[in-house]
Amino acid sequence: MTENDINKDYSCMDDYDPNSILPDEALRRIFDTISAITEAESVPIREALSRVLASNIISEINVPTGCNSAMDGYAINAEDLPSEGKKSLKLIGASFAGKPLSKILKKGECVRIMTGAIMPEGSDTVVMQEIVNVQGDQIEIGINTKPRSNVRQAGEDLAIGDLVLKKGIKLTPADIGLLASLGLAEVNVTRKLKVAFFSTGDELRSVGEKLDNGAIYDSNRYTLYGMLTRLGADIIDMGVVKDDRELMDKAFLEASSNADVLITSGGVSVGEADYVKETLLKRGQVAFWKVAMKPGRPLTFGKLDSTYFFGLPGNPVSVMVTFYQFVQPALKKMLGESSTMPVMMKVPCTSKLKKRPGRVEYQRGILEQDETGRMTVRKTGAQGSGILRSMGDANCFIVLTLENNGVKPGDLVDVQPFHGIV
């Protein structure tokens, strides 16, 4: 859909704005502009947790290296399994994990074996100890074991030459375990992003300062701190910048010489002393958009030298919504991550949701299981863009399309669980 399409069902009851672009279009333009960083660094695998893998990992060894037992029992050759009745085998030694037996098994022989111990040469099957009768150095086995069972084959988990981990994944605990199982102490990840941010507004006070008449505490720098820390960014907190032309100019210059990305909040609403816009226009290439979304209509994106710039709205919920919908996918793309977009699923909504056509809405929801175990979603309560509690209470966004005209209890809605995007 293009900007003009938004306008097609315009009616005065609606929330359509002919100058707005759709969130998808804003994201497309952002993605068209930014490119992934190419610098990588080698870090110890524990430090690689949640970092983005910069090159493919190919296995140079078999995991496990040799065939070993999956059970405590007796290693035998499958040819010695009786086809009926019982059979007696001679015990010639024991193989422990880390202490293999060097003897070769001959016909009619068996070896006591523990889980993880290397299978002695000549054996290919383990009979569980629970189904064996032991009499001195003889054991008696029956027919209830299948040939080659209870054995882990060499390379069964990872074989030499296997593509183990693909470039662009964000490393999980399982991944760093896999790297360790390959004996790798270090791994190549893309370097961290340096992200600077500041808040704008004469009314803002930082925690620890006195709250004089008409002032409010700056919360955006703290939500930004949290969201960026979760993404593993190196953070440069530039504090509050007053609504002042020169101070703004200085802050932009400082950020552009230190950071890969600058994020500001506030000062992009229509009709205010808008130094964010003025400074950017003077210093860099910028796009100012009204995005057909709620909350978070005004959004600025641009480039100042080699620093990307996101000018987010001032309202605390708008900051978080625009961060998760635009900034986070953009930062993931810069980091070379292959999966950048939040997961979306359809779930029945148990609340009535108010919505006018004309904007995509990101209402805050609580995803939960009902008594039958089915997932449902309900709204958190008041949905104003200044009500930060609605984000704290929520565990998902309920995403309502541009055309959506309200939701009745029982209707299916699109949901982005925070788990997976945050």
Footprint of ligand AMP on this chain (CB under 6 A)? 199, 201, 203-204, 216, 218-220, 265-269, 272, 313-316
Nearer to ligand AMP, 73 or 201 (CB): 201
Nearer to ligand AMP, 23 or 201 (CB): 201
Residue 320, classed as helix, strand or coil, is helix
Question: Binding partner of residue 295 among ligand AMP, Mg ion, none, CB under 5 to 8 Å per kind?
Answer: none
Q: Is 311 in the site for Mg ion (CB under 5 A)?
A: no
Question: Binding partner of residue 203 among ligand AMP, Mg ion, none, CB under 5 to 8 Å per kind?
Answer: ligand AMP
How many residues appear in the chain? 422
The piece of 28-36, 43-51, 193-201, 205-213 that touches Mg ion (CB under 5 A) is: 193-201
Nearer to ligand AMP, 136 or 271 (CB): 271
The tokens for 248 are 């703004």
- Helix, strand, coil: what percent of the chain each, to 5? 25, 30, 45
Q: What is the DSSP string of 18-46?
A: TTEE-HHHHHHHHHHH------EEEEEGG
Q: What is the DSSP string of 167-234?
A: TTPBPPHHHHHHHHHTT-SEEEEEPPPEEEEEEE-TTEE-TTS---TT-EE--HHHHHHHHHHHTTPE
Q: Is 201 in the site for Mg ion (CB under 5 A)?
A: yes
Question: Binding partner of residue 204 among ligand AMP, Mg ion, none, CB under 5 to 8 Å per kind?
Answer: ligand AMP
Distance from C-alpha of 357 to C-alpha of 11, rounded to nearest angstrom: 9
Nearer to ligand AMP, 128 or 236 (CB): 236
Angle at the Cα of 362 from the Cα atoms of 360 and 368, rounded to 5 degrees: 135
Nearer to ligand AMP, 124 or 203 (CB): 203
Q: Is 316 in the site for Mg ion (CB under 5 A)?
A: no
CB of 161 to ligand AMP, least distance (A): 53
Distance from C-alpha of 167 to C-alpha of 187, rounded to nearest angstrom: 11
The piece of 4-12, 66-74, 194-202, 305-313 that touches Mg ion (CB under 5 A) is: 194-202
Binding site for Mg ion (CB under 5 A): 201, 266-267
